[in-house]
Amino acid sequence: MAVYDHGYKGYDGPLMPARSRFLVISRYGLRDVFASRLFLAFFAFCFAWPLVLLGAMYLRYNAEALALINLDSADLLEFVQVNTWFFQNLFLRAQLYLAFIVVLVVGPSLVSADLRNRAMPLYLSRPLTRTDYVLGKLVVLGVLVSAITWAPGLLLFAIQASLGGREWLLEHWRVAPSMVVVSVVWLLCMSLPMLAIAAWVKWKPWARIVFMGAILTGTAFGSFYKEFYDSWLGSLVVAFDVTDALSASVFGTQGTVQMPEAAAWLAAAALASLSAALLYRRVRAFEVVK
Amino acid sequence: MSEAPPVIDLDGLGVRFGRHQVLDDLRGAFSGRAIGLLGPNGAGKTTLLNTLLGFYRPTAGTARLFGMDITAQGRELRRRVGYMPERDAFIAGISGVRFVRLMAEVSGLPPEAALERAHEVFFYVGLGEARYRNVETYSLGMKQLLKLAQAIAHGPSLLFLDEPTNGLDPPARLRMLRLIREIRDSGKARIVVSSHLLRDVEECCEEVLVLNRGRIATYCNLAEERRANRRFLELDLAAEREGAGSGFRAAIEGLGCEVAVVNRRRIKAVLPPGVEVRHIYASAIQQDVTIRRLDYKRTSLEDIFLQAMEGDDGRL
């Protein structure tokens, strides 16, 4: 069926493996995301803070460079302690806030347009399952969030380990897997609700408003409950409290939120499961009206 | 050598949504190059297509496409299937060629092959000049062709077309029907066309399955029906002399035709194999009879459809 040959021909060439088919959706999704220059600029900005921290780490171990900018190495050593707190709060917490914006901006555009324009029958009439579709979309957010959270975090960790030596590495080895675990759990707890809301609302601006509304309402209600009843139960609906408690649990530090670890894990699991169920319910070729 | 399995094999297929039985005990095997699904609105045509595509799970029985079970081997089947949905369906914000390429890649084609096929199918369906335009800017007719393009981009061996001529103006409709016939005649893909337009189905299908209220109302092999019609004649005669008419009847009976007399001037005849219309004319000349009118009996799809609807419950 070459363009000059106006006759119908079948295709009997090679095929890509079925198990990686969902990555086609991810690849196209990522290309669409980066087609926006505004988003590209914001995404580049997300690396600013890790670069600042990298600079501080470099200076901390480079007396000559410090002398050039008239800084005392003792002051900097005191000011910039590269330890678990540094990675958990100074690096990861800041990056998770930026990742939240990434999910808020990119998430709705991934599924709402497909559902609004009835593209699901086109996807699902091909050798692609609903799980593949959701996975493909989730990978887009996974790549973006990973690129600004645990990936630069591991790079900083590796550089610090090379500068700080074996002793530092042995003392702080837990930081590396903790950054990955917290980032992945956070990704699931934010991305799945965002995709689920986008699938139900089907309109990007509304999906963002509903998502923000849900988080703000949860925070307001939870904070009120905590104050009024003096109980940690309110934290269960405060996304950032749950994130803090989980982070403290994974990094093995003292959290700022008085909330049992198990309750935080349970809240995160419930949120992700409920969102996945809602999303899965919506991602269908056709809705069945019983 | 074993015989090829039927394209569609319905084995007691039933689909129920809540308390509503949408498809009920559908049975039959269909092997035509182009199979038409006919029926009034709500007959279950689209539900049958969607069930064959794996969108709905059968609540009773099963169906097989090319011998493969739609439930157990759904993924493998969908690799071989192309689907053109009834309603508008596209991915927003991308060009036509990128949309078709994405669909071909999801079907398993490598990126380079998918791009090549996307360009080819755009020219094939006649949208070559518009392939870089955003799909949201396409007209209704262009969107129908775009849906066909994405359905054939991966070279399926079975093509499901749901109301392919919906909303098309006459030239666009003719173009769509021509494309369907071309694909059918290429022998590369079997086609299932669901439509409520009898004329469209008649023009491009060889077998027709008429559904009514979730059941098979009738099945008709149009190709055989057409062949049978070619053998059934109705003749209006004008005899030049007394007794010529009966002589002519005897002559064509002598050729092996079955003859029924309607009245003095009109007869019906069934031609046996080997006897052609020219033999009838030759007999007429010999017997000094003028044939004023010769018609092939023509049972149209409309007749078959109306008969099926009446036979089903006596109402339309």
- Residue A12 Cα, gap to closest chain B Cα (Å): 8
- Is the pLDDT at A44 greater than 70, yes or no? yes
Of B53, B89, B179, the CB nearest to A118: B89
Compute the distance between CA of residue B278 and CA of residue B284 in angstroms, rounded to an integer.
10
- Last residue in a domain, options B162, B189, B222: B222
Residue of A nearest to B54 (CA): A125
Compute the distance between CA of residue A180 and CA of residue A186 in angstroms, rounded to an integer.
10
CATH of the domain at B81: 3.40.50.300
Full DSSP string of B285-301? HHTTEEEEEEEE----H
The pLDDT of residue A5 is 61
CB B70 within 8 A of CB B51: yes
Q: Are residues B217 and B243 in the same domain?
A: no
Q: Are residues B124 and B263 in the same domain?
A: no
B316 domain-assigned: no
What is the spatial order of strands in the sheet that B190-194 belongs to? Answer: B81-84, B158-162, B190-194, B34-38, B207-212, B215-221
Identify any residues that bridge with B235 across adjacent strands, giving them in sequence order. B267, B294
CB B104 within 8 A of CB B118: yes
B282 domain-assigned: yes
Q: Are residues B25 and B117 in the same domain?
A: yes
* Chain A residues with beta carbon closer than 8 angstroms to that of B182: 7-8
Find which of A125, A128, A131, A137 to mutate to test the B interface (most B CBs within 10 Å of its CB): A125
For A136, A239, A271, B67, the CA distances from A201, given in Å and listed in that order, are 20, 21, 18, 41
Q: Rounded to two decimals, what is the model's pTM?
A: 0.84
Could you identify the residue written with the tokens 């890790």? A50
- Residue A198 Cα, gap to closest chain B Cα (Å): 15
CATH of the domain at B286: 3.30.70.100
Mean of the pLDDT values across residues A89-115? 95
- Helix A239-251 / helix A175-201 crossing angle, nearest 10 deg: 160
For A69, A237, B225, B247, the CA distances from B207, given in Å and listed in that order, are 86, 60, 10, 41
Q: What is the 3-state secondary structure (H, E, C) of A158-213?
A: HHHHHHHHHHHHHHHCCHHHHHHHHHHHHHHHHHHHHHHHHHHHCCHHHHHHHHHH
Q: Are residues B201 and B271 in the same domain?
A: no
Among A190, A276, A273, smallest CA distance to A239 is for: A190
For chain A, give every domain's residue range: 21-47+83-162+171-282
The identity of residue B41, as a single letter, is N
The identity of residue A29, as a single letter, is G
Residue-averaged pLDDT of chain A: 91
CB A273 within 8 A of CB B42: no
Q: Are residues B241 and B194 in the same domain?
A: no
Tell me: ipTM over 0.90. no
**Contact criterion met (CB < 8 Å) for B106 and A126:** yes
Burial B197-228 (b: 16+ CB within 10 A, else e): bbebbbbbbbbbbbbbbbbbbbebebeebeee
Among A207, A179, A195, smallest CA distance to A86 is for: A179
Among A130, A287, A281, A284, smallest CA distance to B18 is for: A287
The pLDDT of residue B298 is 65
* Chain A residues with beta carbon closer than 8 angstroms to that of B113: 11, 13-14
Domains in chain B, number? 2
CB pairs under 8 A between A and B: 131
Instruction: Write out the two tokens for B111.
Output: 């990126």
Q: Are residues B29 and B112 in the same domain?
A: yes
Identify any residues that bridge with B209 across adjacent strands, giving them in sequence order. B37, B219
- Is the pLDDT at A132 greater than 50, yes or no? yes
The pLDDT of residue B155 is 94
For B37, B208, B212, the CA distances from B311, given in Å and listed in that order, are 18, 16, 11
- Residue A193 Cα, gap to closest chain B Cα (Å): 22
State the sign of the Cα–Cα–Cα–Cα dihedral B157, B163, B169, B170. Answer: positive
Among B202, B128, B197, B136, smallest CA distance to B168 is for: B197
B275 domain-assigned: yes
Q: What is the pLDDT along chain B (316 residues), one digit of tens a residue?
A: 467 889 999 999 999 998 899 999 999 999 989 999 998 888 899 999 999 999 999 999 999 999 999 999 999 999 999 999 998 999 988 999 999 999 999 999 999 999 999 999 999 999 989 999 999 999 999 999 999 999 999 999 999 999 999 888 899 999 999 999 999 999 999 999 998 888 899 889 989 999 999 999 988 888 777 766 667 888 898 866 777 788 888 999 999 888 888 887 888 888 888 888 899 999 999 888 899 998 876 666 777 777 777 755 434 3
Instruction: Write out the two tokens for B236.
Output: 């209006």
**Contact criterion met (CB < 8 Å) for A8 and B78:** no
- Residue A290 Cα, gap to closest chain B Cα (Å): 5
Confirm or reject contact between A287 and chain B (CB < 8 A).
no
CB A220 within 8 A of CB A132: no
Compute the distance between CA of residue A83 and CA of residue B204 in angstroms, rounded to an integer.
74
Domain with B257 in it: 230-296
Instruction: Write out the two tokens for A9.
Output: 């021909």
- Last residue in a domain, options B199, B222, B245: B222
B311 domain-assigned: no
